[in-house]
Structure 1
Amino acid sequence: MKKLLSLTLLLSTIALSAQDTEETTTEKSFTVSGSVDAYYQTNLTSTDKAIFGDDLDEAQSFGTSFANQTGFALGMANVILAYESGKVGAVADLAFGPKGDDATGGYNINQLYAYWNVSENTTLTMGRFNTYLGYEVISPTGNFNYSTSYLFSSGPFSHVGLKADFALSDDFSLMLAVMNPTDVNNNTTGDYSFGAQLGYSGQYLNFYYDSGVVLGFEVDYTGGFDVSDDFFLGINAAYNDNDGSGFYGAALYPQYGINEALSLGVRGEYYGLHYETGDDDTVLGATLSANYKVDNLTIIPEIRLDSWNEDTYFDNDLEPTKSLAAFTLAAIYTF
């Protein structure tokens, strides 16, 4: 009954906002866009070989999503097909390669949804769409750093469900959603999740809730400020709890544009895992990245150092250590 009531309230809100819909001339458009990325990575404080036996094909890594291979490695080929006719449209966002497999669970479908611009201020979307939680995104074209944060890796990647976006004013926005449990394409448990986002002038307060079947409860703040014409500061903070266990953390993203082609940026992140026992595991990470653009190609050299409160990695002598450092060189082409 609660799930039916939530769906009814969401649809009723959409219907009320649709009353100001105006007739417009139908316009049709079809676009193809996407990206291709690859990288090279080597550990600076540990061997690049698998250290637990020859049967493993991965060396030590930070444990965050995607860029976890050493040597030369593939990211993904991303192809986005978008069609719009008048007030309605559809998007098929396809992802292939190791990163695509990790992000989609092997479906190769990053996003697949249809939408209806009910009015100038209301859009209804149904299908699979990327998460509204967090600062970073799946596509490398949307991130300044090539490697991803612990906050991004711990939170959801995508949702399958129904959402409504409302432009309340020039500054305020609201999103409401009813979805399957996060990152679940086929709902076999009968559980649903609920999401909300309140936006103000580029700052977003995000909420997610399910009954504990996947993520439990998460609150997330994502935003940023133009400190000057050349200096931008991005911010992300989140807290998650699922029956007494979960994660929390905060990250800062200062970025400085030296000229039109070259920018420098740092991601500083504090992240923790909390447990029912009351113990916490924490990590402090620093990632220095440069973005150099040549037409549609972005080259990202990056140095990353993470340090946990407990021995988590092994050094060059295969002795336990709290820290790991790595160098990555990535190439991202957009079209």
Structure 2
Amino acid sequence: MNKLLSLTAAGALLSSSALHGQIEINDNLSVTGFLDMSLFHADNNDGDSTSFDLDQMELDFLLSFDEITAQVDLDYQRGDANEIDLEQAFLTYDLGEGTSITAGKFLSYMGWETAEPTGLYQYSYAYGTTIPGYHNGVSIDFSEEWGSLGL
């Protein structure tokens, strides 16, 4: 019975897709995020062993006031200190006509891979680390029909 229950739970988890959603608190504040969990099951001579773990959790606060938007991401990852960290906190001002300025701590322009497990279904060592770089600074973005440019 225990094996059947474990197999059913594992099958349900593997067959489910990632849920994407955003909770709107009011006209100016929304909250989104994700939980990344893992299941381990071993069937050996010593008996069955099953464990669950919370690998990563993120809670994102999205603020919007006309031309000004802001985002604050709080992140928990199992491991080192097992504490909640400030992953990103930045403010964006829309100058109009496809141009915006962003200031704060945000993910740098490092490539085409995603930084979060909800979009990255493998561990990548493309940049010598599994975590893309977050930097403090200012960026300016241009967007037109021909494409986009960020500095």
**What TM-score do you get using the length of structure 2 for normalisation?**
0.65
Distance 1:152 1:36, change over 3 A: farther
Contact 1:100–1:108 (CA<8 Å) still a contact in 2? no
Q: Return 5+ residue gaps in structure 1 as ranges.
A: 1-27, 43-70, 177-335
Find 1:74's aligned residue among 33, 54, 65: 54
Residues 84-124 of structure 1: CA deviation (Å, up to 9, x unaligned) = 1010021111111327969xxx6611110111001131110
Distance 1:175 1:112, change over 3 A: same
Q: Which residue of 1 aligns with 2:72?
A: 92
Does structure 1 residue 158 correspond to structure 2 residue 138? no
Instruction: Give the deviation of 1:171 after TM superposition.
Output: 2.9
Alpha-carbon distance between aligned partners in 1 of 2:145 and 2:34, rounded to the nearest angstrom: 31
Q: Which residue of 2 aligns with 1:208?
A: none
Alpha-carbon distance between aligned partners in 2 of 1:129 and 1:100, rounded to the nearest angstrom: 22
Residues 218-258 of structure 1: CA deviation (Å, up to 9, x unaligned) = xxxxxxxxxxxxxxxxxxxxxxxxxxxxxxxxxxxxxxxxx
SS in 2 for 1:151: coil
Does structure 1 residue 140 correspond to structure 2 residue 120? no
Residues 113-149 of structure 1: CA deviation (Å, up to 9, x unaligned) = 1110011311100011113213333321222x1x311
Alpha-carbon distance between aligned partners in 2 of 1:151 and 1:107, rounded to the nearest angstrom: 26
Contact 1:122–1:164 (CA<8 Å) still a contact in 2? yes
Does structure 1 residue 108 correspond to structure 2 residue 85? yes
Residues 182-215 of structure 1: CA deviation (Å, up to 9, x unaligned) = xxxxxxxxxxxxxxxxxxxxxxxxxxxxxxxxxx
Residues 279-333 of structure 1: CA deviation (Å, up to 9, x unaligned) = xxxxxxxxxxxxxxxxxxxxxxxxxxxxxxxxxxxxxxxxxxxxxxxxxxxxxxx
Q: Return 5+ residue gaps in structure 2 as ranges.
A: 1-26, 42-50
**What TM-score do you get using the length of structure 1 for normalisation?**
0.31
Letter of the 1:172 partner, please give it: G
Q: Which residue of 2 aligns with 1:9?
A: none
Does structure 1 residue 173 correspond to structure 2 residue 148? yes
SS in 2 for 1:141: coil
Q: Which residue of 2 aligns with 1:129?
A: 106
Alpha-carbon distance between aligned partners in 1 of 2:116 and 2:88, rounded to the nearest angstrom: 11
Letter of the 2:63 partner, please give it: Y
Aligned pairs (5 A) from 1:140-289:
140-143=117-120, 145=121, 147-152=122-127, 154=129, 156-167=132-143, 169-176=144-151
**Superposition CA RMSD, Å:** 2.8
Find runs of 4+ consecutive structure 1 residues off by over 3 angstroms: 99-102
Aligned pair count reads 116
Q: Which residue of 2 aligns with 1:222?
A: none
Alpha-carbon distance between aligned partners in 2 of 1:172 and 1:85, rounded to the nearest angstrom: 26
Q: Which residue of 2 aligns with 1:333?
A: none
Contact 1:135–1:152 (CA<8 Å) still a contact in 2? no
Does structure 1 residue 120 correspond to structure 2 residue 113? no
Q: Which residue of 2 aligns with 1:83?
A: 63
